[in-house]
């Protein structure tokens, strides 16, 4: 750990020009789910082999606590994968899915459709709908569902909020930057990372934006909020992990050179785990440092961990879905 202890000059960026879509943006989408059984894979870690050019990216744990939902970006498919390897696949129109999806408390899964300028939703009954973002040339990258059921979307230079079928669009506060991942805050509003500025953003439900300087590359991806009020940020381009405390003080943890951290999840004992895409490892933070604890296949992208300590992770270049039991100590 390098004790940056940067005192974040957390300043309001203002609300900018807030735009609300005038009519419901959501329509049913005809998708027929298909079931397949994935082949077990053992090298270099246990898991499942996916079809060639599946290119899995985002992953989120299902509310059942054991299965996962996966963004198969290369084949425009959202997959619901059981520990047995049985997968229910939702093949979508050509959409170039984004990088992260999320699940609401009612079980609905929300996913970004980058090239369709929309977010999709798979209901508990398997029905699918699509909600078009307002404006043109929108490329949503990630979603996060709040406890009230509203859906936050990172979409280019804005963060959008979907409520009752209508989007409200909030400028991110830095015109030259693009939002990457978004994370609903349990107390309201949402956090977001950006490419193009070394800052962590937060938008309130009213559209007020605050930016916290975090240093580094200005190319951040994953987010994780912890019960102590801190937010963790993966500085992908800077080979760092950053912890922004509740008082907005900043501490950095250096990874190995070229590690390119992307995604976080909490494991057994509250240990923070992360994907290191560039070095092909799952890392963990303990004792004030980042350890490269588990070797993976090529380009581990995003990560989810069950309550029983099973880590699921996507391997983009190897077209694999890893599933390993994490150490308890």
Q: List strands edge to edge, sheet with 320-325.
A: 39-41, 47-49, 320-325, 310-315, 300-305
**pLDDT confidence bin for 8, thresholds 50/70/90:** very low
H or E segment and range at residue 153? strand 151-155
pLDDT for res 6: 33
Q: DSSP readout, 261-309?
A: EEEEEE-GGG-EEEEETTTTEEEEEETTEEEEEEE-SS-EEEEEE-TTS
pLDDT digits (tens, 9 = 90+) for 155-211: 999 999 999 999 999 999 998 999 999 999 999 999 999 999 999 999 998 889 999
Share of the chain above pLDDT 90, in %: 85
pLDDT at 2 over 60: no
pLDDT digits (tens, 9 = 90+) for 196-238: 999 999 999 888 999 999 999 999 999 999 999 999 999 999 9
206-244 exposure pattern, b = at least 16 Cβ within 10 A, e = fewer: ebbbbbbbbbbebbbbbbbbeeeebbbbbbbbbbbbbbb
Give 50's contacts (C-beta < 8 A, 6+ positions apart): 38, 56, 72, 319, 320, 321
Mean pLDDT to the nearest integer, 7-31: 65
* Rounded (5°) CA angle 316-301-56: 40
pLDDT for res 17: 58
Question: CA–CA separation, 61 vs 190, rounded Å?
Answer: 20
* Rounded (5°) CA angle 155-161-163: 140
Mean pLDDT to the nearest integer, 282-296: 92
pLDDT for res 225: 97
pLDDT at 5 over 70: no
**pLDDT confidence bin for 24, thresholds 50/70/90:** confident
Mean pLDDT to the nearest integer, 9-23: 54
pLDDT for res 197: 98
pLDDT for res 183: 98
Contact criterion met (CB below 8 Å) for 129 and 26: yes
Question: CA–CA separation, 32 vs 281, rounded Å?
Answer: 36
For residue 274, give Cα distances in angstroms to 21, 50, 150, 287, 294.
37, 22, 27, 15, 10
User: Any idea which residue has 């054991």 for tokens?
Assistant: 66
pLDDT for res 286: 85
pLDDT for res 10: 42
User: Any idea which residue has 């069950």 for tokens?
Assistant: 306
pLDDT for res 136: 80
What residue segments make up the domains of the chain, in order of their start? 2-325
pLDDT digits (tens, 9 = 90+) for 77-124: 999 999 999 999 999 999 999 999 999 999 999 999 999 999 999 999
Of 32, 190, 57, the residue nearest 111 (C-alpha): 57
Say what the pTM is: 0.93
Of 178, 177, 185, the residue nearest 145 (C-alpha): 185
Of 110, 106, 109, the residue nearest 148 (C-alpha): 106
Contact criterion met (CB below 8 Å) for 81 and 70: yes
Contact criterion met (CB below 8 Å) for 85 and 39: yes
Fold of the domain spanning 2-325: Methylamine Dehydrogenase; Chain H (2.130.10)
Question: CA–CA separation, 200 vs 59, rounded Å?
Answer: 22
Q: What are phi and psi of 189, to 5 degrees?
A: 75, -165
Give 90's contacts (C-beta < 8 A, 6+ positions apart): 31, 33, 77, 78, 79, 80, 122, 128
Q: What is the average pLDDT score of the chain? A: 92
Contact criterion met (CB below 8 Å) for 291 and 32: no
pLDDT digits (tens, 9 = 90+) for 37-91: 999 999 899 999 999 999 999 999 999 999 999 999 999 999 999 999 999 999 9
């Amino acid at each position: 750990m390098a004790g940056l202890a940067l005192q974040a000059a957390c300043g309001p960026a203002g609300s900018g020009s807030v735009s609300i879509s005038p009519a419901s943006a959501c329509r049913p989408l005809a998708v027929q789910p298909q079931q397949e059984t994935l082949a077990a894979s053992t090298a270099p870690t246990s898991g499942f082999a996916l079809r060639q050019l599946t290119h899995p990216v985002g992953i989120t744990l299902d509310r059942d606590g054991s299965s996962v939902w996966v963004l198969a970006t290369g084949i425009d498919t959202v997959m619901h994968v059981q520990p047995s390897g049985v997968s229910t696949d939702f093949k979508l129109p050509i959409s170039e899915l984004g990088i992260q999806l999320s699940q609401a408390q009612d079980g609905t899964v929300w996913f970004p459709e980058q090239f369709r300028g929309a977010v999709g939703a798979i209901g508990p009954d398997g029905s699918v709908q699509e909600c078009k973002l307002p404006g043109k040339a929108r490329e949503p990258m990630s979603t996060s569902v709040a406890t009230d059921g509203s859906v936050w979307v990172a979409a280019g230079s804005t963060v959008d909020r979907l409520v009752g079928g209508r989007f409200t669009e909030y400028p991110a506060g830095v015109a030259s930057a693009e939002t990457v991942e978004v994370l609903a805050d349990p107390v309201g509003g949402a956090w977001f990372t950006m490419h193009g500025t070394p800052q962590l953003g937060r938008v309130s439900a009213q559209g007020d934006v605050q930016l916290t300087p975090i240093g580094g590359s200005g190319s951040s991806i994953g987010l994780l909020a912890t019960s102590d009020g801190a937010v963790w940020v993966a500085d992908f381009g800077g080979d760092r992990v950053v912890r922004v405390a509740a008082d907005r003080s900043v501490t950095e943890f250096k990874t190995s050179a070229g590690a390119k951290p992307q995604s976080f999840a909490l494991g057994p004992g509250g240990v923070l785990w992360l994907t290191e895409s560039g070095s092909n490892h799952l890392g963990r933070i303990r004792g004030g440092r980042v350890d490269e604890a588990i070797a993976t296949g090529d380009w581990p992208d995003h990560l989810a961990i069950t309550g029983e300590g099973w880590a699921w992770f996507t391997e983009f270049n190897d077209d694999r879905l890893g599933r390993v039991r994490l150490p308890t100590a």
